[in-house]
Amino acid sequence: MQFLPAALSVVVPTLDEAEALPATLAAARQPGVHEVIVVDGGSRDGTRAVARTLADRVLEAPRGRARQMNAGAAAARGDVLLFLHADTRLPAGYAQAVAGALADPAVVGGRFDVRLDAAGLAYRALGRLISLRSRLTRVATGDQAIFVRRAVFERVGGYPLVPLMEDVALSRAMKRVGPIACLRDTVTTSARRWQRHGLARTVVLMWALRAAYYAGVPPARLARVYPDAR
């Protein structure tokens, strides 16, 4: 038996993503998807031009991933929201997987397993570790295509307007409302962050930032030492 939500809206925040965006939007365009919305934060490359040819709607919002995703959610018509990073590709049948998870009315939302698009054992292991950590904690990163019922998203106040850890904050808020689905279906995300700054160094930094966040350090302070904060 197939389950399809009444309407699934995909929200993609962008900033200078003209190169990665075509593959991301092509993979997002599948049966069961009501709309794909791109929210640009002031790109200076051809991101908006690319998005206009592939997305249903292209919006502009002040720079900041949380602000952009909140703007997309406010404009979306779907009763289920999926937040997709511009360098992350969704798997075939993802809308059906989301619908199947949400067929349980107690489930408030969820995320996907993740793999990195770089070759090598270290990158494969990292993807598996990220997926395992998130499965155990029920806390996801934005690279895992977090999805949530609109009513729940609005109940928790959307993404907090912070420059870092907005995905962790939303995940934790969702957990307080109800069960989180951890799908085995796998998204593929760019390894460029780890390649740019070094795999081991980036892993250590990200774990340290997460530990500091849980210890109460404000995200604005953490963003000062994170090179990819937006």
pLDDT tens digit string along 191-216? 998 888 788 888 888 889 888 988 99
End-to-end Cα separation, the chain, in angstroms = 42
Q: What pLDDT, on a 0 to 100 scale, did the predictor assign at position 219?
A: 86
pLDDT, greater one: 156 or 227 = 156
* Cα dihedral sign, 205-176-13-86: positive
Answer yes or no: is pLDDT of 2 > 50. no
Please say whether the structural domain 8-193 has been given the CATH code 3.90.550.10.
Answer: yes
Q: Which of 53-67, 86-100, 163-177, 195-209 has the lowest mean pLDDT?
A: 195-209
Q: Is the pLDDT of residue 229 over 80?
A: no
Q: pLDDT > 70: what percent of the chain? A: 96
Residue whose tokens read 């993503």: 17
Sequence spans of domains, the chain: 8-193
Judge contact between 55 and 38, C-beta under 8 A: yes
Q: Is the dihedral of CA 143, 144, 147, 152 positive or negative?
A: negative
Average pLDDT in the 34-47 region?
97
CA 75 to chain centre: 17
pLDDT digits 0-9 by tens, 101-125: 999 999 999 999 999 999 999 999 9
Query: 106 or 225, which is more confident?
Result: 106
- What residue type is assigned to position 97 of the chain? A
Residue 140 has pLDDT above 70, yes or no: yes
Q: In angstroms, rounded to a whole number, what is the distance separating the alpha carbons of residues 186 and 205?
A: 24
Residue 230 has pLDDT above 80, yes or no: no
Could you tell me the CA-to-CA distances from 13 to 53, 72, 175 in Å, in that order?
Answer: 16, 8, 23
Which pLDDT value is given to residue 38? 98
Question: Which residues, including other chains, have CB under 8 Å from residue 72's CB and lie 6 or more apart?
Answer: 9, 11, 12, 13, 37, 38, 39, 59, 61, 83
Cβ distance 88 to 189 under 8 Å?
yes
What percentage of the chain carries pLDDT values higher than 90? Answer: 81
Predicted pLDDT at 5: 52
Residue 182, pLDDT > 60, answer yes
